[in-house]
Structure 1
Amino acid sequence: MDQALHSAGRRALDDDFHRMWATARQTPPPPLETRLDRLARLRALIRDHEAGFSAAISADFGHRCPVETQIAETLSVLGEIKHTARHLKAWMAPRRIATQLQFLPGRNRLIPQPLGVVGIIAPWNYPLQLTLAPAVAALAAGNAAMIKPSELTPRFAALLQETVAAKFAPDEMVVTGIEDDIAEAFAALPFDHLMFTGSTRVGRIVAAAAGRNLTPVTLELGGKSPVIIDASADLDQAAARIAYAKLLNAGQTCIAPDYVLVPNVSLQAFADKLRDAMRRMFGADPGNQDYSSIIAERHYARLEGLLADARALGASVVQSASPDDAAWKALRKFPPTVLTGVSSEMKIMQEEIFGPLLPILGYDDASEPIAFINARDRPLALYWFGTDDAARDEVLARTVSGGVTVNDCLVHFAQVNQPMGGVGASGSGAYHGEWGFNTFSKLKPVFYRSPYNRFADLYPPYGGTVARLAKLLRWLS
């Protein structure tokens, strides 16, 4: 029976894709009115089912704070839709491109066109935002969108599949199943563009599968996003902002601070302030409704393993309670944890943490954080705190990361006019706002030749006229 169900799921996946592919190839690009209608339907879908989505996500997590879902997911996608709808007409218009002197009075234009069918492989940590924000860009660019949600959020996935089917035609947007064989087959489909958000390890697998079809991919991955506390920083302000960013969604955020570099003279003071800020925000009660659960038992066990390894290798640990406490484990909540005395040999400094554990490392010279960061994979995000502009600019100039927020954390992600994307091991490509529209469009260069231009007439037989034209072109070049 299971085999038959899986086979049916694979057939449905193939049917959905080929229906979309055929429609994209056989019909003209959707006009502005159609695209705006699709965005309006997506907005209505989210608003009509906001409470249901929040409840489903919370059930999938064990507990997910509804306020966090609203702020980090629902409002974020609604804002993306509003911004996109407001600017879509301008984005769709042919763009004027300068024309070289020798080709005047001809003209260049860059014409955005839909690619066709966009595949979106979504993660579990922000299942609404990281599913539908890419879909906004794909639909705005005139594409059909096929979405594969995470198997770790089955209730959300089922509700999304149901609501999308009620609002969108099968050749506009569909949500697939979440079974393992469907996930494997999904990445192997010959999409016109494939977007994956998730771990670097799985990103490599997805990129390899897409590569067999020469499918272009946008990879939003993760890694270890550092925080630099400059000697000029306000420690109280930094501690509060870092604590919030680290504990949002219990640390299960791809751009969460992963470790902090702080001057040695301030290390213990900062650790104390960070601990106090965490306690003020989330207390020491595992039943606190503002604090979210870890998504699954195996993820909880992985965090326990990181902490045990750090302790065994000499790290000092301060947390609200022991993760062995039955009340915390029963709710699958991991106590907020600050670690000092951390070394590079510890697993917690080698793997992306993706949980509420925050190592703090000391430094003496301002050049040390830059060297430390540059010796590792390019991070998805980097955070810098301080008031010394010269020190800040030195860090910005000498480090490479997906994005940066100065004197706060996470906030660069919310800037719809800025691209969101990684670099190297933390990803490739970008989306958000017009950047997402461009990612899911073919920006086709077109040259319109003027009948009054003769410089391009370099036809054989090559003689004196061509020689004179070539001489003039050389001078113009």
Structure 2
Amino acid sequence: MPVESVRFSLPDDGPVLGDDLERLFDRQRRAFAANPMPAAEQRRQWLDALRQLLSEERQTLIEAISADFSHRSADETLLAELMPSLHNIHYARRHLKKWMRASRRSVGMAFQPASAKVVYQPVGVVGVIVPWNYPLYLAIGPLVGALAAGNRVMLKLSESTPATGHLLKTLFARIFPEDLVAVVLGEAEVGMAFSRLAFDHLLFTGATSVGRHVMRAAAENLTPVTLELGGKSPAIVAQDVPIGDAAERIAFGKTLNAGQTCVAPDYVLVPQDRVTDFVEAYRQAVTRFYPTLTDNPDYTAIINPRHVARLNSYVADATSKGARVIPLFEHGQGRRMPFSLVLDVSDDMLVMQDEIFGPLLPIVPYERIEQALDYINQRPRPLALYYFGYSKAEQQRVLEQTHSGGVCLNDTLLHVAQDDLPFGGSGASGMGHYHGHEGFLTFSKAKGVFIKQRFNAARLIYPPYGKAIQKLIYKLFVR
């Protein structure tokens, strides 16, 4: 049975504004200076507290997120936000000691006797800018990596999810002091002020256009950034794959959260002679998932009226330029927008230029796999790429001849939930990685350490030069 959402009311606490940002940042700086290398046990305690909080407050979190969306499927929040967040915490806790352990490195014969190692040191104060589409998961993921690495963290929640932002601010204050984890609320101007703070690392998830501004602001402080930006993630349907298999798995990836997922399939490349079959198979899959949209607790609404208007403008623009829009439902309900397929698309249509972030799926026909790969490679590199086909040779060809942040072969979305895989974009879809071990490394300074004790063989190469022993050393090692 689906988990039902219930009503959620906003608490009265207000946003963090103006000088409060600097005050929070300074408090975290001082706290980090007082404890620059937290022990593994302390980091585990932080993770344990976070895991317990999420487990205890799962229903309240479901309610808050649903309130922000006007309706968000409770099961989708469980499956796409709570479950991977809890798994992420468990994975980091289990591997933490191994990640923290110094890595021994070799020293060349010419530099003996000596040893070398890499130590993984917390970077300091980490800033995280969280988007609205998965406000819990995309806050918890970076938070887990930063805490596992021993850092202090400031989280800027999206102004589009005020209920979730207020709730997380309240809940985190229950388990973390403000100088360890702080939640910042406020409109876009607060977000820009946040990105101008001199963080030791800044992670932003959101639109490519906003990512440019964030990176520009961070550059003033030479703050390292990780950007997760999305883009137009393609799905390729091979010539010989069972069309029902491909359509069902693409439908799952596109309909989850009503398509408001940064790695949702943004368009599908389908063999020219299979387009009609794909349209019917996709329609059957979607209507099997959602027999109706009216009062269906499984179907999530579009986040706000502005994004509904944006998506409707894509449909109007495409129709005016000759596209054929196939609605899969007669009508929606409130902000529960009907799923639609878009055929006969062209590059001058908005739906083929901007990341869709909604329940519209364009279909692009192709004749040979080379054409599909060329189509993808002529465009900015996407955050994800999906290939549906069981030929191992063609799978390898797709992997080798395309660039993207990540890939699923014969599935969608689920690579993001794998704790042992890095997650990150490429080019226009972002830079840097996090999740699992890569998250720990992103929020750590891998510091090389060269160690010598009392005996110093290097004295043999000190000036004055021209000694016989130096000539012997050159003979042995400069070759």
Deviation at 1:7, TM superposition (A): 11
Alignment of 1:18-33 (within 5 A): 18-33=26-41
Choose the corresponding residue for 2:303, options 292, 295, 301.
295
Alignment of 1:269-280 (within 5 A): 269-280=277-288
Kindly indicate whether residue 344 of structure 2 is the aligned counterpart of residue 319 of structure 1.
no
My pick for the range that moved more, 438-447 or 283-292, is: 283-292
SS of the residue aligned with 1:338? strand
Unaligned runs of 5+ in 1: none
Q: 1:422 and 1:6 mapped to 2: Cα distance?
A: 34
Q: 1:272 and 1:470 mapped to 2: Cα distance?
A: 74
Deviation at 1:451, TM superposition (A): 4.8
Contact 2:128/2:155 (<8 A) preserved = yes
Contact 1:225/1:381 (<8 A) preserved = yes
SS of the residue aligned with 2:126? strand
Kindly indicate whether residue 15 of structure 2 is the aligned counterpart of residue 12 of structure 1.
no
Contact 2:345/2:363 (<8 A) preserved = yes
My pick for the range that moved more, 120-129 or 268-277, is: 268-277
SS of the residue aligned with 2:434? coil
Counterpart code for 1:294: I
Kindly indicate whether residue 265 of structure 2 is the aligned counterpart of residue 257 of structure 1.
yes
Kindly indicate whether residue 372 of structure 2 is the aligned counterpart of residue 369 of structure 1.
yes
Choose the corresponding residue for 2:475, options 467, 471, 474.
471
Alignment of 1:106-121 (within 5 A): 106-121=114-129
Deviation at 1:186, TM superposition (A): 0.4
Deviation at 1:453, TM superposition (A): 6.0
Contact 2:247/2:278 (<8 A) preserved = yes
Counterpart code for 1:95: S
Percent of residue pairs identical? 45
- Please, what TM-score do these two structures have when normalized by structure 1? 0.95
Kindly indicate whether residue 410 of structure 2 is the aligned counterpart of residue 397 of structure 1.
no
Kindly indicate whether residue 417 of structure 2 is the aligned counterpart of residue 426 of structure 1.
no
Choose the corresponding residue for 1:104, options 104, 112, 117.
112
Kindly indicate whether residue 413 of structure 2 is the aligned counterpart of residue 410 of structure 1.
yes
Aligned to 1:349: 352
SS of the residue aligned with 2:374? helix
For residues 282-329 of structure 1, the C-alpha deviation after alignment (integer angstroms, 9 at most, x for no partner) is 12333211110000101001100111111112222211335xx5xx35
Contact 2:234/2:265 (<8 A) preserved = yes
Deviation at 1:452, TM superposition (A): 5.1
Q: 1:101 and 1:374 mapped to 2: Cα distance?
A: 46
Q: 1:132 and 1:338 mapped to 2: Cα distance?
A: 33
Q: 2:164 and 2:449 mapped to 1: Cα distance?
A: 44
SS of the residue aligned with 1:422? coil
Kindly indicate whether residue 61 of structure 2 is the aligned counterpart of residue 57 of structure 1.
no
Alignment of 1:68-467 (within 5 A): 68-321=76-329, 325=331, 328-329=332-333, 331-449=334-452, 451=454, 454-455=457-458, 457-464=460-467, 465-467=469-471
Q: 2:240 and 2:283 mapped to 1: Cα distance?
A: 21
My pick for the range that moved more, 460-469 or 293-302, is: 460-469
Q: 1:25 and 1:117 mapped to 2: Cα distance?
A: 10
Counterpart code for 1:418: L
Q: 1:180 and 1:420 mapped to 2: Cα distance?
A: 26
SS of the residue aligned with 2:457? coil
Deviation at 1:240, TM superposition (A): 0.5
Q: 2:463 and 2:394 mapped to 1: Cα distance?
A: 61
Choose the corresponding residue for 1:44, options 40, 52, 74.
52
Contact 2:259/2:359 (<8 A) preserved = yes
Deviation at 1:21, TM superposition (A): 0.7
For residues 217-270 of structure 1, the C-alpha deviation after alignment (integer angstroms, 9 at most, x for no partner) is 000111000001111211101101100110000000000000000111111111
Deviation at 1:65, TM superposition (A): 0.1
Counterpart code for 1:406: L
Deviation at 1:144, TM superposition (A): 0.3
Contact 1:19/1:171 (<8 A) preserved = yes
Runs of 4+ in 1 over 4 A off after TM superposition: 5-8, 450-453
Q: 2:36 and 2:127 mapped to 1: Cα distance?
A: 20
Counterpart code for 2:116: N
Equivalent residues, number: 466
- Please, what TM-score do these two structures have when normalized by structure 2? 0.95
Contact 1:6/1:181 (<8 A) preserved = no
SS of the residue aligned with 1:9? coil
Deviation at 1:8, TM superposition (A): 7.2
Contact 2:113/2:457 (<8 A) preserved = no
Deviation at 1:456, TM superposition (A): 6.5
Contact 2:198/2:221 (<8 A) preserved = yes
Counterpart code for 1:70: L
Contact 1:284/1:320 (<8 A) preserved = no
Q: 2:390 and 2:214 mapped to 1: Cα distance?
A: 42
Change (3 A) 1:8 1:133: closer
Q: 1:110 and 1:177 mapped to 2: Cα distance?
A: 37
CA RMSD between the two structures: 1.6
Counterpart code for 1:470: Y
Counterpart code for 1:339: V
My pick for the range that moved more, 455-464 or 340-349, is: 455-464
Deviation at 1:361, TM superposition (A): 1.0
Contact 1:275/1:318 (<8 A) preserved = no
Aligned to 1:34: 42
Contact 2:146/2:152 (<8 A) preserved = yes
